[in-house]
Structure 1
């Protein structure tokens, strides 16, 4: 270990010669993300900064306090933090986003991927973690309110909440909005992002105690004028998103900046966002997803993970968004759910978008089993009838859905049915869904 320490120490002294003087509890980091190799761990391609390497032997802690830099040693000791808030992924070890140490695995760390998440966001995340441990009032209800900035029945409004109230006597605890109309085009691709729904969401969160979810049906950055939500792109086109100076990359960051503006507006009003980007990636219908039906395309998997990680770092490190709970939600009916998974350090919640003839579908059970092994809160990020049930006059049975949560999916923390023809009020037994003893509705959320 002494040899290891000497090598690390020598490397550190050379690497940090150009850096500012380091105090006893901090050290230089790649805070703007430019030195990342995509792994967010250890030394980064001979850059003059580090992403918090850790030690696996307490002999690297000369002063015995288990914290920060130790007399010019180049790492911190496992189980070393006195504060649980810095354990971003909840495992008590390893790279902890913007933190200078790792915490004892037995602590009550929130487990959020972003160690700088604000207190409200940490509290809401702990709620999601705790819900499945309760005997009742253990699953948050939700609903999709529509797309911001469009007209017609799919436009964001409180109509879905009002409709659920009239049918069931309850309003959903989580209300969702989508910022993007990725099927449309505009002279400026960023104009396809709209966050006018924020005004309503702020009132729901701050005045009524509701929770907020944002999803994005993002336009493709490949066409000059956007659109292309469901237009496949080749892997060579996907790679252009990461090519410095390329027009596709420029358009991508125009999109990201506009989305971040909306999320920042909510942050400035104290609103935590359950944020679900790049969803249903296992399906072949969105530009960011699979290259074909159930294709096992390792290049596409790598591109997707890089896209997610880059988005995560841009929002978290560059834009300073500390109000986000990141949700990874593959489609239930496709394979390779873990092949697209960007990693525990970049995901807070896992779930399924499940549109099936029945909740009892074996593919739903398989997806639940697979994702719940990650030991993160599990959710049904979208739920509703498949096209087959939709054609059969809306006979999807939401009473069967809530019964299945009791028997087959007990780790579920929330569910969000879609609106329009997929809504519980357009199908069977909406009342049973929102009035089950397990269901937590608006006015019952406490964290």
Structure 2
């Protein structure tokens, strides 16, 4: 499998040399913003830079934990049950870690998540964390919208220490993510996401740009400098935006971001969705090039996927045009709420075509060498 992937990559690099395709990220071999990043984290980031030139890794939230009609069955995955292989990126949720709960806000035991992360790492998949954590001031959920929380938890705020305790719990959890030799497992950490919207307590109407940036910078500085977590690739993930200024208004700076992306969900209008994706991608690619960051579609989906050709006729034509390290579809919870096909679902046949497209990478085209040697 390693040799197969090397051949694929060698072909894409040769094609770039022949056609003049941009290889800006690859040529510069950008290092993680954490100067003390572990060797495995550096290698993963370097290999993602190479893959992004011509490939897109497919990902799925909570893929190994549960799916439509099942939960916690070892080895099971809705993606594997339909495409025949596991996804290449796995999203996990940390909400309720701050509450000392044994389970996250979706009911997944944190001990299970630790096991899943180790399993994914062993076979060369990539782990990503989001964290919908409760408001440290009011105790309300992430979906509350007060207008003073961020101001109160940044340095100098009267609830700053409450937020620091949250970060201490995150660090304690992250320190359990170790490989067989005791090495820290690299993960993508995507905090305070969808900040261009206004549905979380860190949203654009809930705090000023300066407050948001202060929150982001303190969080990353504390985790890497005080808690000595050097296995994090930091993801900056917006919601809707129409112009570059909106995307960068709360950007915390190049020293605090490794991966940049956005979340996009389709409602009913495929033409509008594709047009919006195109616009946001054009901005994202420009920003990624100018700031030397790896671009990604950090969340995407069409709930219940009623269009049987959505994967190859709506999503693929757009993502294959732009540099995209990975696309992460949201979770499969129940028959009323899922974003990847499961056996018998209307888009299964099209999803198999999506998997077979040469632009797309699932787990079968990745191996643990993504963490140990240059591809």
State the partner residue of 1:125. 45
Among residues 328, 337, 353, which one is paired with 1:416 in the alignment?
328
Residue 175 of structure 2 aligns to a residue whose secondary structure is: helix
The residue aligned with 2:140 is 227
Matches of 1:418 and 1:160, distance apart in 2: 19
User: Is 1:257 matched up with 2:168?
Assistant: yes
Q: Is the 8 A contact 1:113 1:347 kept in 2?
A: yes
2:252 matches 1:338: no
**In 2, Cα distance between the equivalents of 1:201 and 1:338?**
31
TM normalised by structure 2 equals 0.75
Q: Secondary structure at the match of 1:270?
A: coil
- The 1:107–1:353 alpha-carbon spacing in structure 2 relative to 1, beyond 3 Å, is closer
2:263 and 2:300 in contact (8 A); partners too? yes
Alignment of 1:111 onto 2:31: yes
Q: CA deviation at 1:156?
A: 8.0
Aligned with residue 211 of structure 1, among 105, 120, 126: 126
What corresponds to 1:279 in structure 2?
193
- DSSP-derived class of the 1:133 partner: coil
Output one character per residue of 1:25-75: Cα deviation in whole Å (capped at 9) or x when no partner: xxxxxxxxxxxxxxxxxxxxxxxxxxxxxxxxxxxxxxxxxxxxxxxxxxx
What CA distance in whole angstroms lies between the structure 2 residues aligned with 1:230 and 1:189? 16
Identify the residue that residue 71 of structure 1 maps to in structure 2: none
Match of 1:311 in 2: 219
Distance 1:377 1:227 in 2: 33
> What is the TM-score with the length of structure 1 in the denominator?
0.64
Q: Which residue of 373, 389, 404 maps to 2:318? A: 404
Secondary structure at the aligned position of 1:327 is classed as strand
Cα deviation, residue 146, structure 1: 6.8
| Kept after mapping to 2: 8 A contact 1:162/1:171 | yes
Do the aligned residues in 2 keep the contact of 1:147 with 1:179 (CA within 8 Å)?
no
Distance 1:156 1:143, change over 3 A: farther
> Once the 2 structures are TM-superposed, how far is the Cα of residue 244 of structure 1 from its aligned partner?
4.0
Q: In the alignment, what sits opposite 1:142?
A: 59
When residues 300 and 122 of structure 1 are mapped into structure 2, their CA distance, relative to the original with a 3 A threshold, is same
Task: Quote the offset at 1:122 in angstroms.
Answer: 0.7
Measure how far apart 1:402 and its partner are. Answer: 1.7
Question: Does 2:81 correspond to 1:166?
Answer: yes
SS in 2 for 1:266: coil
8 Å contact kept, 2:240–2:263: yes
The higher relative CO (CA closer than 8 Å, separation ≥ 6) is in 2
Contact 1:170/1:434 (<8 A) preserved:
no
* Structure ranking higher in helix proportion: 2
Deviation at 1:232, TM superposition (A): 0.6
Paired residues of 2:259 and 2:295 also in contact (CA < 8 A): yes
Gaps of 5+ in 1: 1-104, 183-187, 293-298
Q: 1:323 to 1:262 in 2, by over 3 A?
A: same
Describe the shift of the 1:265–1:189 C-alpha distance in structure 2 as closer, same or farther (beyond 3 A): same
1:108-137 deviation per Cα after TM superposition (whole angstroms, max 9, x unaligned): 543311111111111111111111334xxx
Q: Deviations over 1:12-33 (max 9, x none)?
A: xxxxxxxxxxxxxxxxxxxxxx
Match 1:431 to one of 334, 352, 360: 352
RMSD of the alignment, in Å?
A: 3.1
2:118 corresponds to 1:202 = yes
Which residue is 1:266 aligned to? 177
**3-state SS of 2:239 partner:** coil
Q: How far 1:290 sits from its partner (Å)?
A: 1.6
Determine if contact 1:140/1:439 at 8 Å carries over to the other structure.
yes
Assess, with a 3 A threshold, how the Cα gap between structure 1 residues 153 and 164 changes in structure 2: closer, same or farther: closer
Change (3 A) 1:167 1:107: closer
Deviation at 1:152, TM superposition (A): 9.8
| Alignment counterpart, residue 441 of structure 1, candidates 346, 362, 372 | 362
Task: Write out aligned runs for 1:248-397 (5 A).
Answer: 248-267=159-178, 268-291=182-205, 300-332=208-240, 336-357=246-267, 358=270, 360-374=273-287, 375=289, 376-385=293-302, 393=306, 397=310
Residue 443 of structure 1 aligns to a residue whose secondary structure is helix
